[in-house]
């Protein structure tokens, strides 16, 4: 039955469409059985069934809200944000329980106990089921949007827990000698526990191996890393499952009952089936979203799907290449066109730098070829998919940028990306050096930027200046006359020759000096000392293109040497890897630099 429901949910219109109602029904029944256990323990007052059951169901409903919100993406729909929604559901239900107890309060002696039991029932049946639901809805970022990883996560939880139960029962019957918890559960043994862990580890390898490949969720981990990850996952989730089983056994024993209910012959009640799953769900969720789970396939970045390794040459060939295949899901023909470009323009760029065989079939991009080429092509398409999702369309320059970052020709951006928003355009740094440059402009009042032609020194400085002007952080932009004629407009942008600045104090201004390598030391000193209150200064230049007379020291080189390290001043050095013009420009600059060194 579980396999059939999983199949239906896997092919449903959206992830969780079948499993979510099942979770709500399970919560409803489990909460009712908990109240029944409380009612059978006559030594304590029982909480109201009409508070515990609706409260637990409400927690699950609230936890599902970000995934089934009908008005677009709901705030807090991230992985950890969804945990916050589980907490919100718990807080709301507990508040209602408190209010109800206050309204019915008549005499001291029982309110505290009823409150404690009611909150426990809501947290157990609703809160823990919320984590089960979140496993199925695992999506976004590296998990993609089609819900496959969420289905794998949920199936891995069920397989580990139930195979542990089966292994513990079979091994306990065959080899059990030493009681595990003779008071809580006399039938459990240490030998059965070991057998359960062994069987659950094997089942985990089957789930996170062949099943993961069949679902297109293979992460291409090395064999030792994959085995270690499966072992960690099976043991930690298995321990939590055993703890859940013992916890419900304690509740049943305390109520003098063998089963939580009798409506499922051979199984007991819903709590008897879900006890270990509910306890293990938060542990499994934590493993999937943290680095600990990345020891194996659990939590591995979703960059390679359904990959099968094979050798392209005969085993006797010593230098045979390792060949793999991979598939990447696409949402439809529209996304394929955006990824491949008009006339396959973008696809040609990818093939040129990552020469894998690329084709589309059945709503997926299929890749095959040399391992390195396939891995690079897959990483490129994953980044392109993310860019399409975020930006809506791809330009040729954007594709070149992503390809260069993946292939290592251009360093990827580290840390938070500094973005400049302008009307009708979003300006993003295309290299890590550019990102460092923009961050320095925002955080320092005086910035020196040295780098070769084509690294965006002047463009980014002007963009930052316009941003500051629009935010009313400054009242004027000043720049050298020859570089900024087209920006002149009604004295908002002032264009001034360097000599014109002598004797002035520039307040509330964003002052840009371009081609700073061609200033003398006195000129640079004069320029820098014009900075007034609430002003920023950015000096850009290319140290390899100095046009000063022989034996004349560059003011830019002198200023960087003198001022680097002073608080409030930043010196950024862009490299040839930061060049964002035609890809040949960086090769040309490198060639000239090598020639000059000779």
Within 13 Å, how many C-alpha atoms sit on residue 562's CB side?
11
Pick the more confident residue, 458 or 52. Answer: 52
CATH architecture of 333-407: 2-Layer Sandwich (3.30)
Q: Cα 525–526–532 angle (5° rounding)?
A: 105
What's the confidence (pLDDT) of residue 486? 55
Residue with tokens 């020196």: 448
Does residue 208 contact residue 221 with C-beta atoms inside 8 Å?
Answer: no
Residue of higher predicted confidence among 345 and 314: 345
What span, in angstroms and rounded, lies between the C-alpha atoms of 561 and 569?
Answer: 12
Burial of residue 443 (CB within 10 Å: 0-12, 13-18, 19+) is exposed
Q: Judge whether residue 124 has pLDDT over 90.
A: yes
What are the pLDDT digits (tens) for 154-199?
888 999 999 999 999 899 989 988 998 888 888 889 999 999 999 9
> Angle 19-40/270-289 helices, nearest 10 degrees?
120
pLDDT of residue 142 exceeding 80: no
Which tens digits make up the pLDDT trace of 181-192? 888 888 889 999
Determine the 3-state secondary structure of 564 from DSSP: coil
The burial of 431, by beta-carbon neighbours within 10 Å (0-12 exposed, 13-18 middle, 19 or more buried), is given as: buried
* 578-593 per-position pLDDT tens digit: 777 666 777 777 777 6
Q: Is the pLDDT of residue 280 over 80?
A: yes
Q: How far is residue 211's CA from residue 158's CA, in Å, rounded to a whole number?
A: 14
Q: Which tokens go with 147? A: 């819900």
Contact 119, 179 (CB under 8 A): no
For 404-446, what is each residue's pLDDT tens digit? 877 776 655 665 666 676 666 677 777 778 888 888 888 888 9
pLDDT of amino acid 497 = 66
Q: Quick one: which of 316, 318, 315, 326 has its CA closest to 371?
A: 326
Question: Looking at residue 314, what is its pLDDT?
Answer: 37
**308-311, strands of its sheet edge to edge:** 308-311, 322-329, 364-370, 357-361
Least confident segment among 84-98, 260-274, 417-431? 417-431
First vs last C-alpha separation in the chain: 75
CB 134 within 8 A of CB 283: no
Task: Give the residue-averaged pLDDT of 213-220.
Answer: 60
| The two structure tokens encoding residue 328 | 């990447």
Q: Between 367 and 149, where is the model more confident?
A: 367
Identify the residue with better confidence: 290 or 444: 444
415 alpha carbon, distance to own chain's centre: 14
For residue 297, what pLDDT is reported?
A: 46
Q: Give the CATH H-level superfamily of domain 427-584.
A: P-loop containing nucleotide triphosphate hydrolases (3.40.50.300)
Handedness of CA 384, 385, 390, 394 (dihedral sign): positive
Instruction: Give 467-489 pLDDT, tens digit per residue.
Output: 888 888 888 777 665 555 555 55
Task: For residues 412 and 406, give the distance between their C-alpha atoms in angstroms, rounded to a whole number.
Answer: 8
Alpha helices in 207-318 (DSSP H): 212-214, 223-254, 270-289
Q: What are the boundaries of each domain within the chain?
A: 1-137, 146-299, 333-407, 427-584
Query: What pLDDT does 495 receive?
Result: 61
Smallest Cα–Cα separation from 484: which of 458, 507, 460?
A: 458
Spatial separation of the C-alpha atoms in residues 62 and 47, rounded to whole Å? 22
Higher pLDDT, 398 or 584: 398
pLDDT digits (tens, 9 = 90+) for 44-54: 677 787 889 99
pLDDT at 520: 92
Split at pLDDT 50, 70, 90, the class of 505 is confident
Closest CA to 360 of 384, 386, 340, 387: 340
| Residue 254 pLDDT greater than 80, yes or no | yes
């Amino acid at each position: 039955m579980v396999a059939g429901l999983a199949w239906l949910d896997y092919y449903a219109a959206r992830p969780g469409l079948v499993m979510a109602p099942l979770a709500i029904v399970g919560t409803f029944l489990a909460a009712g059985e908990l109240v029944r256990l409380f009612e059978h323990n006559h030594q304590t007052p029982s909480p109201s069934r009409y508070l515990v059951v609706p409260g637990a169901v409400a927690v699950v409903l609230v936890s599902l809200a970000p995934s089934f919100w009908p008005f677009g993406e709901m705030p807090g729909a991230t992985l950890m944000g969804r945990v916050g929604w589980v907490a919100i559901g718990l807080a709301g239900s507990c508040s209602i329980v408190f209010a109800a107890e206050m309204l019915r309060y008549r005499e001291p002696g029982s309110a505290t106990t009823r409150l404690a039991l009611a909150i426990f029932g809501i947290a157990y049946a609703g809160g823990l089921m919320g984590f089960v639901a979140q496993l199925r809805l695992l999506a976004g970022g590296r998990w993609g949007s089609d819900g496959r990883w969420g289905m794998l996560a949920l199936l891995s939880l069920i397989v580990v827990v139930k195979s542990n139960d089966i292994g513990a029962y079979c091994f306990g019957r065959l080899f059990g000698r030493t009681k595990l918890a003779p008071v809580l559960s006399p039938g459990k043994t240490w030998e059965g526990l070991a057998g359960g862990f062994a069987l659950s580890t094997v089942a985990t390898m089957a789930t996170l191996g062949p099943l993961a490949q069949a679902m297109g969720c293979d992460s291409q981990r090395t064999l030792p890393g994959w085995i270690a990850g499966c072992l960690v996952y099976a043991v930690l989730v298995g321990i939590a499952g055993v703890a859940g089983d013992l916890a419900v056994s304690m509740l049943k024993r305390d109520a003098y009952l063998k089963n939580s209910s009798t409506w499922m012959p051979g199984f007991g009640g819903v709590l008897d089936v879900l006890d270990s799953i509910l306890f293990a769900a938060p542990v499994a969720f934590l493993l999937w979203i943290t680095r600990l789970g990345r020891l194996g396939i659990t939590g591995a970045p979703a960059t390679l799907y359904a990959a099968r390794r094979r050798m392209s040459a005969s085993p006797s060939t010593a230098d045979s290449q390792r060949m793999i295949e991979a598939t990447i899901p696409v949402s439809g023909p529209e996304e394929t066109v955006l990824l491949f470009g008009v006339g396959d323009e973008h696809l040609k760029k990818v093939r040129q730098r990552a020469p894998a065989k690329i084709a589309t079939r059945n709503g997926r991009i299929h890749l095959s070829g040399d391992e390195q080429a396939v891995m690079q092509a897959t990483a490129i398409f994953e980044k392109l998919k993310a860019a399409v999702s975020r930006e809506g369309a791809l330009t040729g320059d954007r594709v070149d940028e992503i390809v260069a970052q993946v292939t290592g020709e251009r360093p990827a951006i580290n840390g938070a990306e500094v973005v400049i928003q302008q009307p009708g355009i979003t300006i993003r740094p295309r290299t890590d050096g550019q990102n460092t440059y923009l961050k320095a402009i925002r955080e320092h009042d005086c910035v020196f930027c040295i780098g070769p032609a084509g690294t965006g020194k002047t463009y980014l400085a002007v963009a930052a200046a316009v941003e500051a002007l629009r935010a009313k952080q400054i009242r004027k932009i000043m720049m050298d006359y020859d570089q900024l004629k087209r920006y002149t407009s009604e004295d908002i942008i002032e264009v001034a020759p360097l000599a014109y600045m002598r004797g002035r104090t520039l307040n509330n201004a964003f002052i840009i000096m371009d081609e700073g390598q061609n200033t003398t030391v006195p000129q640079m000193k004069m320029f820098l000392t014009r900075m007034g209150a609430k002003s920023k200064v950015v000096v850009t230049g290319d140290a390899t293109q100095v046009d000063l007379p022989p034996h004349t020291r560059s003011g830019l080189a002198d200023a960087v040497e003198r001022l680097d390290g002073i608080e409030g001043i930043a010196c950024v050095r862009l490299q040839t890897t930061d060049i964002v013009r035609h890809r040949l420009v960086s090769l040309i600059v490198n060639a000239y630099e090598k020639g000059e060194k000779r």
